[in-house]
Amino acid sequence: MFNTILATAAKAAPAAQNAGQQTQTNPMGMLILMTGAFILMFWMMSRSNKKQQQKREQLLDSIVKGTEVMLASGIYGKVSAVQDKILTVEIADRVFVKVNRAGIHDVILPQTENAAPAEEKKEEKSDK
C-alpha cells in the first residue's frame, strides 16, 4: 500500500514541476517594475517637499514690520523691526525678543469682519 502511494506521488511530482514552470514570472521584469515604482514614489515625495519649502520661503519673505507671528516656541507677537535674518518681535508691552527668521513658525493673518459673525453663529448654535 505504501509503495503505491509513493509511486503515485512520484508520477505527480514531474507534472507539478512542469505546471510550476509555466506560471513563473521573469525575475528581471519584476525587478524593473519594483525599481520603477520606487523611483516614482521618491520623485513624488521630493516634489511635495519642494513645494512645501517654497511655500515656507514665501511666508518668511512676506514678513514686514507690524506682522503678527507665532514663534516656534508657541509665543505670539508682533514684528517691530526686520533686519536681514534677525527679526525683533514684541511679545508683550515693551518686551522685545530678537529671533532668527527661521524661528518663525507661522504668520497670523488678520481677522476679517466676515469671519467674526460666522464664529458668533457657531457659538449661538452651541448654546441651544
63-108 CATH, one of 2.60.120, 2.30.30, 1.10.3470, 1.10.287: 2.30.30
pLDDT for residue 61: 86
| Alpha helical stretches, state H, 1-128 | 2-23, 27-61, 115-127
Distance of CA 12 to the CA centre of its chain: 54
Model-level pTM greater than 0.75?
A: no
CB-count exposure of residue 99 (10 Å: 0-12, 13-18, 19+): buried
pLDDT (tens, 9 = 90+) of the chain, 128 residues, equals 555 655 565 565 555 555 555 566 788 888 899 999 999 999 998 888 889 889 988 888 888 999 899 999 999 999 999 998 899 999 999 999 999 988 999 888 877 655 555 555 555 555 55
pLDDT for residue 100: 92
